[in-house]
Chain A
Amino acid sequence: MVRFKNRWILVEFIPCTAPSPGRTPAAQAASGGIGGSDVETSSKQIWAALKQSVITHFGDTGWGAVGASLTVKYYSPRTNVCIIRVARDPYRIAWAGVTMLSTIDGQRYIPNVVHVSGTIKQAQLAAIQHNREVIARYRALAKTPAGYQDSYEEFLQTSAQEIEALQD
């Protein structure tokens, strides 16, 4: 069967300020917010930045291999988590393009690819798992007792619903 195969890349963009030391997620939790850049990044801007990165590093041929199938499927500005879909053959080019990205709209980020999978289901599960780990890290830092209900719980549920709602 000739099926069109994809790769789903789960990326976390860690915002930081250069050249002074980057604010780690720990520091951000302490300051009481997740994300907090003035610029509103959206999936369109990520796509544009990614396109620019692939063209700079792999040329027009690289973009030609990747461009038709590259889509940003999900982006959450609160956690800076992004799911990108690419065709399976040139996915390493797209992955390298993501790694070589350093700024989106003038704001510096560290792109951290958390998970790569061949199906959307695995990508969704990985995204939910990643959110839970991040929240667990914040909670460990804040040292809240186990049964404590905080706003993170509601965030986890809404984000899980958004992720589950993703369609191919």
Chain B
Amino acid sequence: MFIDLNVPAPTPSSQLGQSQSKKGKGKQPAAPATVTFAPGQISSLENRIDLLVHLGYTVLALNQTIQTKLEPKNHVNILDPLLAQLRERSGLVLLKRLTIVLDEGSEKGFGLTTQNTPLVASYDILSLLPTTQNSLSLACLTHTLPSPLTTHIIALPLAAPRLPFRLKHTLIRTALKNGAVFELSYGGALGADADPSSGMGEGGAGAKRNWWANAREVVRVTKGKGVLVSGGIVNDADLRGARDVANLMTVLGLSPDAAHHAATKIPQSLILRAQTRRTYRAVLSEPKVVFPHAQTTQPGASAPAPQPAQAVDPPVQAVAVTDPIPVTDMPEQSTEMTAKNVNGKRQRDESTAPSKNAGHTADVDKDGAGRKRKKTKTKDGGP
């Protein structure tokens, strides 16, 4: 199951006209209500997706790139109408991704704030492409914390001669601990013409040399742990199969199983983690507050009786019951764990607002119990 998280989406023809006519702030023309793509662009994208399927990829993410700042006024999600125009394919999953290229202009802030959350809520994955030292530290430290705005992918401009910043271990380690991954686009390895909007610079032999040098550096600093490979290919002729790309990573110094994970397991867990943007601070189960009654001596004893009936309900209720009363029987705990598994899995599919509120109360509840609950990742929800 191979995943390519960077298939550059074509810029729609209507938007190109727009960007030429307006200049800076002032009277903004209204953003185009409909985004139109030329039929040639649609057919070339269809061809590229065909090729990717032939090469063995099953999950793709269409990538929309934005320079410098995310402006709510004229930002249009071009991926939604694009996806609507593509042919139906079974066995293929298409995701939507937004990349913001950070340069000097974005150091003061580039629009990834809580007030812009509804704008970015329609994208499945967010990512940043820092080009300066300051923007790199911004990206690694602040934007990887769990929130509705977490950017899970940090892409680096590998084709630039001499990376404009030093990759410090502390920065990278914090980002990895928060769950971000660093992305290597294999297009640069072949000296391909880079995506012009991605800010990576031109292709050719020089870019190839820089790519190898810089990619090796990234692998060294991350010690092979949080590395993701993806395409970023503009020309169809530069596409490569997933196992070929894994082999190229081995040449970079990545161990063979880490290279294989970089195209399978790491993007897989990344997509799941990206869904935590919809939850409150990456808590995935839905806790429910239960106030223990003063009269009943053992609320824990009454729990096993209604347990089968409650197996369908948010079973974290059972956990909340046990919080104030630490004495629990073993069988009760095992049933509650399995019930939590069943529901934990279901919770992942549903959204959003209820879990946010529940998360709040859960915080209150757990503070009262004095026990710290870490980020519940999908470990217990997994098969």
Contact = CB atoms under 8 A, between A and B. Distances in A.
Interface of A: 14, 16-27, 92-93, 95-96, 98-100, 102, 108-113
B157 to A, nearest CB: 21
B244 interface: yes
Contacts of B55: 110, 112
B107 interface: no
Interface in B239-283: 239-241, 243-245, 247-248, 250-251
Q: Which 10 A-B pairs have the closest CB atoms?
A: A22-B236, A18-B237, A21-B44, A21-B47, A99-B244, A24-B50, A108-B237, A112-B241, A95-B247, A96-B251
A47 B245 CA distance: 21
A102 B205 CA distance: 13
Nearest to B251: A96
B239 A100 contact: no
Contacts of A21: 43-44, 47-48, 236
A96 B237 CA distance: 16
Contacts of A96: 247-248, 251
B51 interface: yes
B54 A14 contact: yes
Given A19-B237, A25-B54, 10 more contacts: A14-B54, A18-B235, A21-B44, A24-B47, A24-B50, A100-B190, A110-B236, A110-B238, A111-B240, A113-B244
B189 interface: yes
Contacts of B251: 92-93, 96
A21 B189 CA distance: 21
**Chain B interface residue bracket vs A:** 20 to 34
Contacts of B241: 112-113
Contacts of B243: 113
Nearest to B192: A102
A22 B51 contact: yes
25 contacts: A14-B54, A16-B51, A17-B237, A18-B237, A19-B193, A19-B235, A21-B44, A21-B47, A21-B236, A22-B48, A22-B237, A24-B47, A92-B251, A96-B251, A99-B190, A99-B244, A100-B189, A100-B190, A109-B237, A110-B55, A110-B236, A112-B55, A112-B241, A113-B243, A113-B247
A23 B51 CA distance: 9
A135 to B, nearest CB: 14
Nearest to B236: A22
A152 B243 CA distance: 29
A24 to B, nearest CB: 5
Contacts of B239: 110
A110 B235 CA distance: 11
B78 to A, nearest CB: 19
Given A102-B238, A110-B237, A24 B244 contact: no
A62 to B, nearest CB: 10
